[in-house]
Amino acid sequence: MASIKQFQVTFDCAEPERVARFWCEVLGYVVPPPPEGFATWDDFNRSLPPERQGSGFVCMDPSGVGPRMYFQRVPEGKVVKNRLHLDVRVGTGLVGEERLAALEAECARLVPLGAVRGRLLLADDNNESCLGMQDIEGNEFCLD
């Protein structure tokens, strides 16, 4: 069996473009060019049937290394804790106070974008410190 080398992360959300643009800011991702024949994503969107307009949005790693992220509109809101979340690796290789400072600095950058600070988990015998966060629609993620 062949090994899968690429994957896409898909978010269910109420406002795909808004959430996608938040994650572009978090990860340094970009919105890809609109489909062939359309000058802008708005032009493409207007070409869709009304019920499909604004139903999805994409962002991607400009280097092509990270996974593509797809945001799809769903009718139901978020009700429970995510069973899967992203760890945004801002403190890799850092320990102690230096790591905490990196986590706090990234948190300070993301809160004005609409992120919500969660609980700081301090280092223990097995894990280094991380900071729980939520995106603009309440999806959990960690600054790690």
As a whole number of angstroms, the distance between CA 61 and CA 107 comes to 21
The three-point CA angle 14-20-21 to 5° equals 120
Query: What was the pLDDT predicted at 81?
Result: 83
**1 or 15: whose pLDDT is higher?**
15
21 within some domain: yes
Q: Band the pLDDT of 3: cuts 50, 70, 90.
A: confident
109 within some domain: yes
Q: Kindly tell me the sign of the dihedral angle through the C-alpha atoms of 18, 116, 25, 112.
A: positive
CA-based radius of gyration for the chain: 17
106 within some domain: yes
How far is it between the farthest Cα atoms of the chain?
Answer: 56
For the chain, what is the domain count? 2
Query: What was the pLDDT predicted at 4?
Result: 73
Task: Give the tens place of pLDDT for each residue, 79-105.
Answer: 888 888 999 999 999 999 999 999 999
**126 or 108: whose pLDDT is higher?**
108
Q: Give me the mean pLDDT over the 101-130 stretch.
A: 95
Q: Band the pLDDT of 6: cuts 50, 70, 90.
A: confident
- Asked if residue 11 lies in contact with residue 70, where contact means CB atoms within 8 angstroms, the answer is yes
Is 68 in the same domain as 112? no
Domain with 114, as residue range(s), is: 86-143
Query: What was the pLDDT predicted at 5?
Result: 75
Is 63 in the same domain as 101? no
Which tokens is 100 given?
Answer: 């905490």
Q: The pTM is what?
A: 0.89
12 within some domain: yes
Query: What was the pLDDT predicted at 30?
Result: 98
**Residue 143: exposed, middle, or buried by beta-carbon count in 10 A (0-12, 13-18, 19+)?**
buried
Task: Give the tens place of pLDDT for each residue, 21-79.
Answer: 999 999 999 999 999 999 999 999 999 999 999 999 999 999 999 999 999 999 988 88
